[in-house]
Chain A
Amino acid sequence: MVLAALLLAAAVAQPELDVALQVVPGRLTVQMIVHQELPVEWTSALAGGAPVSITYRLHLYRNRRWLWDQRLASHELVVKAQRDPLTGVFALVAELDKEILASGQESSQEQAVRWVTSPPSVEVPVPVRHEPLWLFVRAEFFTRYKLLVIPTAEGTEWVQRAIGETP
């Protein structure tokens, strides 16, 4: 019973997507770590040499009274991984808004998975505002189809973080 309670507490304490923020005037540094176990299809495709990726979506909102929230900015970090079946080397690339942010090579799948689930920190500009902003982050692995035809993105839940005033 105690073990179950501890496991439950650990499960509750460990979010699917851990987002750490560092705010400096005009800029926001986001560090994301996926704790959720990646789907089998994803890992087997990586092991088989197919190109796979994890897309981190970052949306910055501000609250508006009487209206829906206004999206101030939207960013997309795509972390790609592909194994060379001949050399066994995993080629890794991180692109922020289609611009290469970082790249690397790993010789084992564990290291490659660790690289894509804890990608390099992302630094995005934040508009200067005297009001709290909200950052929504989500990691998407690939597209599934419910009832065969309804596309749904497989990934973590949206994580919401408040950003204090940025004078």
Chain B
Amino acid sequence: MGPAGDRGDAVSDWRRRWQRYRRQNRFLIALYVLVLALAGGAYALFSRMAGLPVEELTNRLLIFLLWWFDLTLIVVLLFILLRNFVKLALERRYGMLGSRFRTKLLLSYVGLILGPSALVFVLSASLLSRAAASWFSAPVEGMAGAGVTLAEGLRRQTEARVSRTVESLAREVEAAPGEAVRIEVLERLHGLLGSQSTSWWRNGTPLLELLDPRERALQRLGGLDLDDGTGRGVRTERAGGTLVVRAWHRLGDGSLLIVGEALPGDLMAAQARLAVAGAAYERLKLDRPTMTATVVLGFGALALMVAFAAIWLGLYLSRRFTAPLLALAATTQRIAGGDSLEEVPLPAEDEVGLLVGSFNAMVRRLRQREEELSATVRRLDTVLGAVRTGVLSLDAERCRVAGNPAAAALLAMPELVNSEQPLSALDEVGLGGLADRIRAADGASRGGLTIYPQGVARQVEVAIVPLGAAPGPTGWVVALEDLTQLLRAQRQAAWSEVAKRLAHQIKNPLTPIRLAAERIARQFERGSAELGEIVPASCHAIVEHVQVMQDLVDAFSRFAKLPPTARRPVAIGELAAQVVALYQGVRPGLEVRLNDRTDGMLVALDPDQLRQVLTNLIDNAIEASDGGGLVTVTAGADSSEWVLTVDDDGHGLGTTDPELFFQPFFSTRGRGSGVGLAIIQRIVTDHGGVVRLLPREPRGTRAEIRIPAETA
């Protein structure tokens, strides 16, 4: 990697570091303090370079720092508030979750913080401004002014006294003749007037100097420097820690007369302190606006810091309070929108944490249920894929249909396995009968149907079951049982059985016919004398057995040509009574009794076929009751079925399987066609019912027919 690549990595590294640090509050605060310190230091440095006095520098630096602090705080506050307001406004515009709640929270915080903070700031600034004004009250100012005036007055009084003294001396000296007399006059008046310093100068040379030895300040004074050459005057000077007032008067001969006086040292020290205090007070007055500005800016900074901290804390708390709730709401919204179940990732405490924890527990439980349900569905899919029964599932409106592989193969519609298809698609591929059967179903139903997938006929058993409780099922399931092979096999088996039984039945009369014919032929060959008797007897036997065969063929024809069912309302009890009446006294010792429990009930049945069924059952019962007995016919109904039973006291069913009695041409009696019960079963089946034979205790048989009431 070249230098360019290294530079790129370094830039990325710095960017990553900045991204990591810039979101840390401590880093931001430290940066802010550092910039503040640097700016203050730079300003102090430049001001020092400009040569400002230390006091002025301190004031300006303080004011600058306070201004900088206040301005930056205001900017930061405004930035935070504006940023949050703009962010919330955008969130509200785009309808983001929680924006309204956070807006209310932020406005409440800002109102609660800025209002009291501004009020406290205004009140504090006003109070402190007044307090600062009270520092410069009239009594203090009066005392300071009085001190200055006092010092001024004392000085002026001293100056006036010294001036008067020098004037008096000058008059006396001018009047005195000669220098010696003048000196004597000066010495006398010096003592008389109590002057501290009296001197007489000519051409810069002292002619006489009289000094009070107690006043050291006067002793250290030099001569008066009078450049302007004025004739008289007074001058006040600082000397030896006190003030010295000297007045001079130029005499007529050009000599100079000077009188001096030093003010008391202790008095001057007090006056100096007073003067310094007065000057400091004036200086303070001049700096009063600066002090007021400093105080106001300081309190402003304090109020801004409080507002800043409160708003920051408020925003932090609002984020902390609302974040788990918003995460919870967002998660529920996503789940409601169809997303997969997920837990709320934000850790939280207290009641909100309890809520989040409960939600997460619910999600875990639902996820477990979902997994279990998925496993069940997978198992069901596997089972449905493995079973040979075709299963179709439909929606509540029966508009969309899907199927398992068996159904898809049966209906020759492989697309049913992968996706839902409209039910009308069945119409388009020639399965309109099935589609109509599904559309017409108003509840659970079952029945046979011939369908023609790809033009090939198939017999199916169709069971339609609604899902959920009526009247509004949530879906439908259709089971398709392909009976084509079974029916074909059954039909072949039945025909084989019929052929076997028919052959057996035909073979029975054929043997006597063949024997009778052989007997005639044998006697005819012998020329038997009994031929005249044998031929009629044999012919009779042949005719008799041919008649049996004719009866057999007729029964077969009847079984094959059973007419279609023609239902109409029939009083079942009355019909049973009519049939039973025909068998009254049919055999001595045998009683046929009717037990009618129908209470005049009307049932939709084919009366002719029902009469045939009842006749056959009673015939069989009478046939089974060899030595008489009781045959009881009972007609009645229970909750959902119409029931007809025929009981006898005969020899019973024996060990034979009862189902065999319903097969055509099956008979245990060795006579009869053996199609009676088969015809009965077919009629009952056509009516949607069932027939069965049950053994009775201690002997006898019960034939029971049950036909569903709704079908009947």
Contacts and interface: CB of A to CB of B under 8 A. Distances in A.
Contacts of A88: 152, 155, 236
Interface string B270-299: 011011101111110110011011001100
A86 interface: yes
Max chain B CB contacts within 10 Å: which of A41, A49, A85, A151? A85
The 8 closest A-B pairs by CB, nearest first: A48-B282, A49-B279, A85-B275, A50-B282, A50-B283, A145-B289, A45-B282, A145-B293
B292 A145 contact: yes
A143 interface: yes
Given A50-B279, A145-B290, A149-B293, A85 B148 contact: yes
9 contacts: A44-B285, A45-B283, A49-B148, A86-B151, A86-B268, A86-B271, A87-B243, A142-B286, A145-B290
A51 interface: yes
Contacts of A41: 285-286
Contacts, number: 82
A85 B151 contact: yes
Contacts of B151: 85-86
A65 interface: no
B144 interface: yes
Interface string A59-90: 00000000000000000000000101111110
A4 B279 CA distance: 41
Nearest to A87: B236
B527 interface: no
Contacts of B278: 48-49, 85
Contact of B237 (A47, A49, A87): A87
A128 B297 CA distance: 47
A88 B151 CA distance: 9
A52 interface: yes
B322 interface: no
B125 interface: yes
A85 B279 contact: yes
B488 interface: no
Given A145-B290, A151-B293, A87 B279 contact: no
Contacts of A87: 155, 236-238, 243
Contacts of B283: 45, 50-51
A86 B293 contact: no
B292 A148 contact: yes
Contacts of B243: 86-87
Interface in B212-255: 236-238, 243
Contacts of A44: 282, 285
A144 interface: yes
B408 interface: no
B241 to A, nearest CB: 11
A130 interface: no
A79 to B, nearest CB: 15
Contacts of B144: 48
- Contact size class for B? 35 or more
B51 interface: yes
A45 to B, nearest CB: 4
B186 to A, nearest CB: 28
A86 B279 CA distance: 11
A140 to B, nearest CB: 13
Contacts of A48: 144-145, 148, 278-279, 281-282, 285
Interface of B: 51, 63, 67, 125, 129, 144-145, 148, 151-152, 155, 236-238, 243, 268, 271-272, 274-276, 278-283, 285-286, 289-290, 292-293, 296-297, 300
B275 A49 contact: yes
A47 B275 CA distance: 11
Interface of A: 41-42, 44-45, 47-52, 82, 84-89, 98, 142-145, 148-149, 151
A82 B289 CA distance: 21
A144 B281 CA distance: 18
A145 B132 CA distance: 15
Contacts of A144: 289
Max chain B CB contacts within 10 Å: which of A41, A48, A89? A48
B282 A49 contact: yes
Contacts of A47: 282
Contacts of A149: 67, 293, 296-297, 300
Contact of A148 (B125, B145, B236): B125
B422 to A, nearest CB: 79
Contacts of B300: 149
A128 B493 CA distance: 137
Nearest to B297: A149
B436 to A, nearest CB: 93
A86 B147 CA distance: 11
Contacts of A143: 289-290
B82 to A, nearest CB: 23
A151 B293 CA distance: 8
A48 B63 CA distance: 26
Contacts of A89: 236
A148 to B, nearest CB: 5
B286 A50 contact: yes
A82 B276 CA distance: 12
A148 B279 CA distance: 24
A84 to B, nearest CB: 8
Contacts of B279: 48-51, 82, 85
Contacts of B281: 48
Contacts of A49: 148, 275-276, 278-279, 282
A148 B293 contact: yes
B122 to A, nearest CB: 11
Nearest to B53: A51
B369 to A, nearest CB: 68
Contacts of B268: 86
A148 B124 CA distance: 13
Contacts of B274: 85
A89 B148 CA distance: 13
Contacts of A52: 286
A45 B145 CA distance: 11
Contacts of A45: 282-283, 285-286
B155 A86 contact: yes
Contacts of A148: 125, 129, 292-293, 296
B266 to A, nearest CB: 14
Contacts of B297: 149
A48 B146 CA distance: 11
A20 B63 CA distance: 36
Given A49-B148, A148-B129, A86 B289 contact: no
Contacts of A145: 289-290, 292-293
B374 to A, nearest CB: 72
Given A148-B293, A149-B300, 12 more contacts: A41-B286, A49-B276, A51-B279, A84-B275, A85-B275, A87-B155, A88-B152, A145-B290, A148-B296, A149-B67, A149-B296, A151-B63
Given A48-B144, A142-B286, A145-B289, A86 B238 contact: yes
Contacts of B282: 44-45, 47-50
A52 B144 CA distance: 18
A46 B230 CA distance: 29
Contacts of B155: 86-88
A50 B275 CA distance: 10
Nearest to B281: A48
Contacts of B152: 85, 88
Contacts of A84: 238, 275
B324 to A, nearest CB: 44
A91 B129 CA distance: 34
Contacts of B271: 86
Nearest to B284: A50
